[in-house]
C-alpha cells in the first residue's frame, strides 16, 4: 500500500513539472562572432584553425589554435570595464548579450527577480593568472593588480552578466572541465522544471590560448602537432587524428519556462527535454575504454521525458579528435542505441571550432538547437582516411552537411576527471 502511494506521489510530482524551451541563442566562436554567422560557417564546413597570434609560439610543440577573430571588446563593453575583465569574461558578456536580446529579455515587463544566470568555464581567468604570476616572478617586491582575484575566479562571469542586466534570480558557475556548459544547462533546466525561476541565461566561455594553456596541454601530449597544416588538424574519427585543437570563445542560450515564454510572445527555437550526468570513475584524463560512463550519461539523459533511443535523430558528439576518445564514444553510442546507432546522424563540430574546453558544450548546444530548428546536420570536416577500428556503418556526416528531419538532438560533453554530461533538445510542436 505504502509503495503504491509513493509511486502515485512521484508521478503527480513529475506531471506538475514545468516544460522548458529555448528562446534565445548567442555564439562567439573561431568561425563566427554571432550565432547566425557561426551556424552558416558550420554548414559551409569552415575551419577556424590558424597559427596562434596571441603569443610567441616559437618554442612550443603546437603553434596553432582556433582563435576568435576580429574581436574588439571595446565595441561592446566600456573601455574602463574591459580592463577589469579577463578575456573569458569579456566573451561571456558579449555572447550573453546576443542571447538575451535574441530572447527579448531586454524588454520592459520581465520579472528580473525570476531570471537567473548559470555560467560555466573549465579554467576561468587564465590570462590574468599568467600575467600576475609572471610579474611576481620578475619583481622581488610583490605587486598585484587589485582586480587579480575578481578577474580570475570562474563565477565572476555569471556575476557580471547579472549586474549588467539586473537579473536577480539564482546565480552561480559550474565547473566540470569540458562537461561544464552542459551541466550549466542541466541545472537551469531542472530549476525551471521545479518552478524556482522563469528563465536562465546559461552558457560557457573559455580563453585558454596562452602560454600556460598551450604549454600545459602540450606537456600532456593532448594537442595536435600538425603545424604544417592547421586547418585540417582537427579530424575526429579519421585514422590519422593526433590530438585536439585548442579553441576559445563562448556560447549562450536562454532557457525558459514554456508558459512564461508564451505569455510574453517569445519565439521558441525548440524544447529542452533531458539532461544526464555521470562519472567514468576510471582515469584522470583517459575515457573508459568501453565507454561505460559515456553510455550511462546518454541513457540518463533520455529518462527525463521517457525518450526512446530510437527517437533520437542526431548526436553532436564530444568527438575531440583524440585516438582513444573517439573510439570510446562510438562504443558507448552503440551500447545505448543498438542498431539505431546506424540510422542516426553523428557529427563533431569540433572539427571546425576546435575544442573550447569548458565552453565546448555551449557552442555545440547552439549547433544542436539549430539542427533541430532547421532540419540539417552540420558536418564532421577533415575526414581523409577511414579508421579500420571504426564501424563504417556509423553515419558520421563526413565533410558535407546532411538534410534530414531532426526531431530530437543530443549533445555530449565529457571532461578530464571523468565528468560526463549530456543534454537533449526536441522540436517544439506546441
In the structure, what pLDDT confidence band is assigned to residue 5 with cuts at 50, 70 and 90? low
**Predicted pLDDT at 422:** 98
Residue 95 falls in the annotated catalytic set = no
Please tell me the predicted confidence (pLDDT) of residue 10.
44
Q: 318 catalytic, yes or no?
A: yes
Does 65 have pLDDT greater than 60? yes
Instruction: Provide the H-helix boundaries in 33-120.
Output: 35-44, 79-82, 87-103
Average pLDDT over residues 48-75: 97
For the entire predicted model, the pTM comes to 0.95
Question: Tell me, what's the pLDDT at 280?
Answer: 87
Sign, CA dihedral 13-16-22-24, equals negative
The total number of residues written for the chain in this structure: 430
pLDDT at 3 over 90: no
Please, which pLDDT band fits residue 8 given cuts at 50, 70 and 90? very low
Q: Which of 160, 260, 355, 419 is catalytic?
A: 355
Q: 141: alpha, beta or left, given left = phi > 0 and alpha = psi -120 to 50?
A: beta
| Catalytic residue flag (residue 270) | no
**Average pLDDT of the residues in 285-289:** 81
**Predicted confidence (pLDDT) per residue in 108-148, tens digit:** 889 999 999 999 999 999 999 999 999 999 988 888 999 99
Instruction: Note the pLDDT of residue 264.
Output: 96
Q: What is the mean pLDDT of residues 181-204?
A: 98
The residues that bridge with 425 in the sheet, in sequence order, are: 272, 409
| Residue 197 main-chain phi, psi, to 5 deg | -160, 160
Share of the chain above pLDDT 90, in %: 90
Q: Burial of 6 by CB count in 10 Å (0-12 exposed, 13-18 middle, 19+ buried)?
A: exposed
Residue 9 has pLDDT above 80, yes or no: no
Name the catalytic one among 178, 260, 288, 419: 178
Position 196 pLDDT exceeds 50? yes
pLDDT for the residue 14 = 55
DSSP string, 283-322: -SSSPPTT-HHHHHHHHHHHHTTT--GGG--EEE----S-
Q: What is the pLDDT of residues 357-368, one digit of tens each?
A: 999 999 999 999
Segment 155-173 mean pLDDT: 98
All domains in the chain, ordered by first residue = 18-263 (3.40.47.10), 274-426 (3.40.47.10)
Give me the chain's average pLDDT, please.
95
Amino acid at each position: 500500500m505504502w509503495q503504491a502511494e509513493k509511486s502515485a506521489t512521484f508521478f503527480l510530482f513529475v506531471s506538475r513539472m514545468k516544460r522548458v524551451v529555448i528562446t534565445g541563442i548567442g555564439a562567439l566562436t573561431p568561425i563566427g562572432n554571432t550565432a547566425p554567422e557561426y551556424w552558416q560557417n558550420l554548414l559551409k564546413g569552415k575551419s577556424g584553425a590558424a597559427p596562434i597570434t596571441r603569443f610567441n609560439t616559437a618554442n612550443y610543440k603546437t603553434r596553432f589554435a582556433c582563435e576568435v577573430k576580429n574581436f574588439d571588446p571595446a565595441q561592446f563593453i566600456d573601455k574602463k570595464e574591459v580592463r577589469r575583465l579577463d578575456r573569458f569574461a569579456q566573451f561571456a558578456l558579449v555572447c550573453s548579450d546576443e542571447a538575451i536580446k535574441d530572447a527579448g529579455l531586454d524588454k520592459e515587463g520581465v520579472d528580473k527577480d525570476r531570471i537567473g544566470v548559470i555560467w560555466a568555464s573549465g579554467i576561468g581567468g587564465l590570462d590574468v593568472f599568467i600575467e600576475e604570476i609572471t610579474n611576481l616572478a620578475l619583481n622581488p617586491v610583490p605587486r598585484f593588480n587589485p582586480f587579480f582575484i575578481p578577474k580570475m575566479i570562474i563565477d565572476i562571469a555569471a556575476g557580471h552578466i547579472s549586474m549588467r542586466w539586473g537579473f536577480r534570480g539564482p546565480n552561480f558557475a559550474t565547473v566540470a572541465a569540458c562537461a561544464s556548459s552542459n551541466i550549466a544547462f542541466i541545472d537551469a533546466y531542472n530549476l525551471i522544471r521545479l518552478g524556482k525561476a522563469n528563465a536562465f541565461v546559461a552558457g560557457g566561455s573559455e580563453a585558454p590560448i596562452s602560454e600556460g594553456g598551450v604549454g600545459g596541454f602540450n606537456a600532456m601530449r593532448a594537442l595536435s602537432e600538425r603545424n604544417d597544416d592547421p586547418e585540417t588538424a582537427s579530424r575526429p574519427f579519421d585514422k590519422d587524428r593526433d590530438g585536439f585543437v585548442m579553441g576559445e570563445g563562448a556560447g549562450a542560450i536562454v532557457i525558459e519556462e514554456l508558459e512564461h515564454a508564451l505569455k510574453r510572445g517569445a519565439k521558441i527555437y525548440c524544447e529542452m527535454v533531458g539532461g544526464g550526468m555521470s562519472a567514468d570513475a576510471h582515469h584522470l584524463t583517459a575515457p573508459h575504454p568501453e565507454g561505460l560512463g559515456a553510455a550511462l550519461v546518454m541513457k540518463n539523459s533520455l529518462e527525463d521525458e521517457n525518450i526512446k533511443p530510437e527517437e533520437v535523430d542526431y548526436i553532436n558528439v564530444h568527438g575531440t579528435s583524440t585516438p582513444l576518445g573517439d573510439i570510446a564514444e562510438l562504443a558507448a553510442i552503440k551500447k545505448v542505441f543498438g542498431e539505431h546507432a546506424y540510422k542516426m546522424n553523428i557529427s563533431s563540430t569540433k572539427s571546425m571550432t576546435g575544442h573550447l574546453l569548458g565552453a565546448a558544450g555551449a557552442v555545440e548546444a547552439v549547433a544542436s538547437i539549430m539542427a533541430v530548428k532547421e532540419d540539417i546536420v552540420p558536418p564532421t570536416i577533415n575526414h581523409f582516411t577511414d579508421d579500420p577500428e571504426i564501424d563504417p556503418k556509423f553515419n558520421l556526416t563526413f565533410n558535407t552537411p546532411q538534410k534530414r528531419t531532426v526531431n530530437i538532438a543530443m549533445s555530449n560533453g565529457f571532461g578530464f576527471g571523468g565528468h560526463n554530461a549530456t543534454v537533449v533538445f526536441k522540436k517544439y510542436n506546441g
